[in-house]
Chain A
Amino acid sequence: MLAGKLVRLRAPQRADIPIFVKWFNDTETTRFLLRPPPMGMEEEESWYDSLVSKDTKVFCIETLEGRLIGNVGIIHLDWANRNADIGVIIGEKECWSKGYGTEAITLLLGYMFDELNLERVWLYCDMENLRAQRCYERCGFRKEGVFRHHRLQAGRFRDDVVMSILKQEWVERKAH
């Protein structure tokens, strides 16, 4: 468990699955999700089972009062090149724009740079998802490019913005 001022990261548990399913079947929440919904209980359970004994961990974000509000996690870990990409969802809509996601990502970055000793953490998100991009910038990510027509969603090819933060940038941010 890793705690900040607003949220903490904890291991997911089987009892959380119905809450994940609720998030992943809400059209507003999934508007910018990179994986197309809907998602059923069984699909979510098999995803949950696939996480066992993996380096690519998913963490639940909960408020310090213990309310589960979202997930953040490592998607692929490339040890040889010491980089990894991450994903995040704040599933509880009334928790949007309160800084929870920013702090959860910052906690995860601390783990990835200071404990796993990675060189680069990256992600991509829908070019139109400006709220997410602002959040990632606040965490120290920089835009580095665009994957043009990278995803087909709702009948339209979408552009994705690629963002990353390097170890050195993380160290400098911490020093300030």
Chain B
Amino acid sequence: MRSLRHAKAMLRSERVGLRPLETQDVYSLLKWFNDQRVLEDLGAEHISFCVSLEDEKVILERMLRDVHAQWFIIIKLDDLEPIGIAGLTNMDERNASAEVRIIVGEVKEWGKGLGEEAALLVLGYGFDSRGLHRIWLRVAEYNERAIHLYKKCGFVEEGRSRHDHYHKGRWRDALRMSILDTEWRSG
């Protein structure tokens, strides 16, 4: 297996960088998406409970082939270790909009503000390199850490998907949030 340890980050901020997602990252994804602490707050739409290596390979292959998505692995710049995945998906070129997803899968890296750095890099990429006008996201109503992070990045709540998914024995809502290019540039 070709080592990705020395892969250069294409987009960098102070402590984290983003590099393109590669087939070899399947082992990182497998680890993160089998960690109940990571899955817990994602909202059931994204939960594929107990994925096997073979399941994850199929999912990854689809992600890489999707022409309406651009995925990155978030790495720490000090040791180049992968800590999560971020990207734009559901890209609508006609309307210059896309959905953003950010997951820090390495639990030991939580609470350090690395997710926020990664989020700002993805937003910069979306608005400045891809010419997007609007970037939106979906977040489970109980994922307070994520909601806090998105607000800090400039997202505003624009709606609520009522009874979006079933979790812990009841229907839960998801928030819809978005940020426009004008807000990004003035922020």
Q: A residues touching B (Cβ–Cβ < 8 Å)?
A: 1-3, 9-14, 48-49, 51-53, 57, 59, 111, 113-117, 171, 174
Task: Say whether A52 contacts B52, CB under 8 Å.
Answer: yes
- The reply to whether the CB of B51 lies closer than 8 angstroms to some CB of chain A is yes
Encode contact with A along B152-181: 1 for CB under 8 Å, 0 otherwise.
Answer: 000000000000001111000000000000
Report the bound CA distance from A171 to B58 in whole Å. Answer: 35
- The reply to whether the CB of B78 lies closer than 8 angstroms to some CB of chain A is no
Partner of A11, one of B52, B58, B168: B52
Tell me which residues across on chain B come within 8 A of A14, comparing CB atoms. Answer: 53-54
**Count of A-B residue pairs with CB < 8 Å:** 52
Q: B residues touching A (Cβ–Cβ < 8 Å)?
A: 34-36, 44, 47, 49-55, 58, 166-169
Closest A residue to B171 using CB positions: A117
Task: Say whether B166 contacts A1, CB under 8 Å.
Answer: no
Task: Say whether B50 contacts A52, CB under 8 Å.
Answer: no
Closest A residue to B44 using CB positions: A115
A/B interface sample: 20 pairs, CB < 8 A: A2-B49, A9-B50, A10-B34, A10-B50, A11-B50, A12-B52, A13-B53, A14-B54, A49-B54, A51-B52, A52-B52, A53-B58, A57-B49, A57-B50, A114-B167, A115-B44, A115-B167, A115-B168, A116-B166, A171-B169
In the complex with contacts A113-B169, A116-B166, A2-B50 CB distance below 8 A: yes
Minimum CB–CB distance from A174 to chain B (whole Å) comes to 8
Tell me which residues across on chain A come within 8 A of B54, comparing CB atoms. Answer: 14, 48-49, 51-52
Task: Say whether A52 contacts B166, CB under 8 Å.
Answer: no
Partner of A3, one of B36, B44, B168: B36
Closest A residue to B166 using CB positions: A117
Report the bound CA distance from A1 to B53 in whole Å. Answer: 14
Tell me which residues across on chain A come within 8 A of B169, comparing CB atoms. Answer: 113-114, 171, 174
Tell me which residues across on chain A come within 8 A of B47, comparing CB atoms. Answer: 115
Task: Say whether A1 contacts B52, CB under 8 Å.
Answer: no
Closest A residue to B56 using CB positions: A11
* Extra 20 A-B pairs, beta carbons < 8 Å, given A49-B54, A52-B55: A1-B34, A2-B50, A10-B34, A10-B50, A11-B34, A11-B51, A13-B52, A13-B53, A14-B53, A51-B52, A52-B52, A52-B58, A114-B168, A115-B44, A115-B47, A115-B49, A115-B167, A116-B166, A171-B169, A174-B169
Report the bound CA distance from A9 to B49 in whole Å. Answer: 10
Minimum CB–CB distance from B162 to chain A (whole Å) comes to 15
Tell me which residues across on chain A come within 8 A of B166, comparing CB atoms. Answer: 114-117
Closest A residue to B36 using CB positions: A1
Closest A residue to B33 using CB positions: A11
Minimum CB–CB distance from A80 to chain B (whole Å) comes to 16
Tell me which residues across on chain B come within 8 A of A59, comparing CB atoms. Answer: 50
Closest A residue to B51 using CB positions: A11
Report the bound CA distance from A49 to B55 in whole Å. Answer: 10
Report the bound CA distance from A3 to B39 in whole Å. Answer: 13
Tell me which residues across on chain B come within 8 A of A117, comparing CB atoms. Answer: 166
Closest A residue to B47 using CB positions: A115
Task: Say whether A53 contacts B55, CB under 8 Å.
Answer: yes
Minimum CB–CB distance from B43 to chain A (whole Å) comes to 11
Minimum CB–CB distance from B166 to chain A (whole Å) comes to 4
Minimum CB–CB distance from B56 to chain A (whole Å) comes to 9
Report the bound CA distance from A48 to B54 in whole Å. Answer: 10
Task: Say whether A1 contacts B55, CB under 8 Å.
Answer: no
